[in-house]
């Protein structure tokens, strides 16, 4: 299975599937459809039923039940696109067999190393096969590792019909990296009772909590007067922007928070004397604290408007997604099933909150409860991205054990 996974993974990462946050089409890039159509052909060759790609690039397929009774329909989902921070084309993966725990030279010419000094997670994989970049591109383990694992699990079930299972649905989505991954996902068509995304990091990772998220656009209207005659008349929008920023808690920025701590994150600032705009994202796992954070933004603007006796500040708030825990807790058995599956394959479950969002979060609020499982990769979105082939094997085994547990009930 290990070599099958490696070959499949390398075949997928060779296809450039970066999404484009500036695009108005869906999917945002046509090159994502290249891999999507490859997957359609491969799913048909493996022998799955109901293989389909729709107008938006969503790939769906079915492994039909071979049981004589009804059990819940489970789905497994991964995303096709890769991030935009580094090039996604011309990927030249390196395979390090029997990793010795020392520095890996990614690029000698540019002196780029993958070192356990900087990335201690590497030491978890001593003796294993590491797949990494050449230091100039993404690897694409996020989330082509998840795709390879789901495909390999599906092929294993098709080739081994003696393994009893209920109906299983497979889904591959575009544009996850730009926050649009399930904009047109047809939950009813998918037809699963619940699902799992395979988009997490190291073995054992299991996530069913994520941030509540909102954006805040703060517009500031100044008053530009010739500086030689500005006394008592000028309102410098740039200075007002700085005043606004200074009224939010300094210790509640991303660089000072971890675990369940939320934050205000200034994404961008654009300022002149006449006009300024601050773009924030607001994050918190607690819904009540999340709502309080949004109110803080509004209150600061209101206070400053009162201070300057005019409507200098205006705020536009937009909720983006919510903590899927609210949707998972009523069906918490799906988390327990995943934990048991990991234990069955010799992995200690590592349950942690996501300090971000996933397709699974939005799907959960669309009626498809969807925790996130490990896919095995590390250092996503950067040149130091790597994955151990053995982690991909464990992910496949976890999927197969989830299927077995559900089918045994």
Q: Is 176 a catalytic residue?
A: yes
What CATH number is associated with residue 267? 3.30.70.360
Whether the predicted pLDDT of 396 surpasses 90: yes
Looking at the fold, whether 174 and 255 belong to one and the same domain comes out as no
Shared-domain flag, residues 224 and 342: no
Whether 189 and 315 map to the same domain: the answer is: no
Q: Considering 16, 42, 81, 205, which one is annotated as catalytic?
A: 81
Please tell me whether residues 376 and 353 are part of one structural domain.
yes
* Pair 161, 29 in one domain: yes
Question: What pLDDT score does 234 carry?
Answer: 86
* pTM as predicted: 0.87
Tens of pLDDT along 120-151? 999 999 999 999 999 999 999 999 999 999 99
Which CATH number do you get for residue 180? Answer: 3.40.630.10
Report whether pLDDT(228) > 80: yes
Residues 185 and 298 grouped into a single domain: no
Average pLDDT on 168-184 reads 93
Q: Are residues 271 and 283 in the same domain?
A: yes
Domain C-terminal end among 321, 344, 369: 321
My answer on whether 170 and 246 are in the same domain is no
| Domain termination site, one of 259, 286, 321 | 321
The Cα–Cα gap between 200 and 377 comes to 7
Query: Do residues 261 and 188 share a domain?
Result: no
pLDDT(88) > 90: no
Round to whole Å and give the CA distance between 33 and 18. 11
**Do 74 and 154 sit in the same domain of this protein?**
yes
Q: Residue 86: its pLDDT value, please?
A: 86
d(CA 379, CA 201): 9
Question: Residue 81 is encoded by which pair of tokens?
Answer: 């696109």
Per-residue pLDDT averaged across 399-409, rounded? 93
Reported as a single tens digit per residue, the pLDDT across 239-265 is 999 999 999 999 999 999 998 999 999
- What range does the domain containing 155 cover? 2-209+324-407
Which of the residues 143, 155, 175, 176 is marked catalytic?
176
Q: Which of 299, 321, 343 is the last residue of a domain?
A: 321
% of the chain surpassing 70 pLDDT: 100
pLDDT, residue 298, reads 97
Residues 328/371, Cβ–Cβ less than 8 Å: yes
Q: Comparing 157 with 356, which gets the higher pLDDT? A: 157
Q: Which residues pair with 161 in a beta bridge?
A: none
304-323 confidence digits (pLDDT tens): 999 999 999 999 999 988 99
Q: Is the pLDDT of residue 409 over 80?
A: no
Residue 269 above 80 pLDDT? yes
Task: Give the pLDDT of residue 249.
Answer: 96
Note whether 156 and 295 are same-domain residues: no
Give the DSSP per-residue string, 89-108.
SS---EEETT--SS-EEEET
Please give the tally of structural domains in the chain.
Answer: 2
Return the residue matching tokens 């491969």: 42
Residue-wise pLDDT for 347-388, tens only, equals 999 998 988 777 898 999 999 999 999 999 999 988 999 999
DSSP string, 109-120: TTTEEE-TTT-G
Q: Which two tokens stand for residue 153?
A: 């699990």
Residue 85: the pLDDT is 84
Are residues 227 and 121 both part of a single domain? no
Q: What's the confidence (pLDDT) of residue 123? A: 95
pLDDT of residue 84: 87
């Amino acid at each position: 299975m290990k070599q099958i996974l490696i070959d499949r993974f390398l075949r997928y990462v060779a296809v450039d599937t970066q999404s484009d946050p500036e695009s108005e089409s869906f999917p945002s890039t046509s090159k994502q459809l290249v891999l999507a159509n490859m997957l359609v052909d491969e799913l048909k060759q493996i022998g799955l039923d109901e293989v389909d790609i729709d107008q938006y690039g969503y790939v769906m397929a079915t492994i039909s039940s071979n049981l004589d009774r009804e059990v819940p329909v489970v789905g497994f989902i991964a995303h096709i696109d890769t991030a935009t921070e580094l090039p996604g084309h011309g990927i030249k993966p390196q395979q390090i067999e029997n990793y010795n725990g020392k520095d890996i030279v990614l690029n000698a010419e540019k002196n780029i190393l993958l070192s356990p000094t900087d990335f201690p997670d590497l030491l978890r994989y001593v003796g294993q096969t590491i797949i990494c970049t050449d230091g100039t591109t993404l690897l694409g383990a996020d989330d082509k590792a998840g795709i390879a694992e789901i495909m390999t699990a599906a092929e294993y079930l098709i080739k081994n019909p003696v393994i009893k299972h209920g109906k299983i649905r497979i889904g591959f989505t575009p544009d996850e990296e730009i926050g649009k991954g399930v904009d047109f996902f047809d939950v009813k068509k998918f037809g699963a009772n619940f699902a799992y995304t395979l988009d997490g990091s190291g073995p054992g990772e299991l996530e069913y909590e994520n941030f509540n998220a909102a954006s805040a656009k703060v517009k500031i209207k100044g008053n530009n007067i010739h500086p030689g005659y500005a006394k008592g008349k000028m309102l410098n929008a740039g200075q007002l922007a700085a005043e606004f920023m200074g009224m939010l808690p300094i210790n509640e920025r991303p660089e000072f928070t971890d675990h369940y701590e939320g934050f205000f994150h200034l994404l961008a600032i654009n300022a002149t004397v006449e006009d300024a705009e601050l773009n924030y994202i607001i994050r918190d796992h607690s819904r009540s604290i999340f709502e309080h954070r949004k109110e803080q933004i509004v209150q600061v603007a209101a206070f400053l408007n009162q201070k300057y006796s005019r409507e200098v500040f205006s705020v536009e708030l937009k909720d983006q997604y919510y903590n899927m825990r609210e949707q998972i807790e009523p069906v918490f058995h799906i988390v327990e099933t995943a934990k048991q599956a990991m234990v069955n394959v010799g992995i200690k479950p590592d349950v942690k909150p996501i300090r971000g969002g996933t397709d699974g979060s939005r799907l959960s609020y669309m009626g498809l409860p969807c925790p996130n499982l490990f896919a095995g990769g590390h250092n996503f979105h950067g040149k130091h991205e790597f994955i151990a082939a053995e982690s991909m094997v464990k992910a496949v085994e976890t999927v197969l054990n989830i299927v077995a547990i559900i089918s045994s009930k």
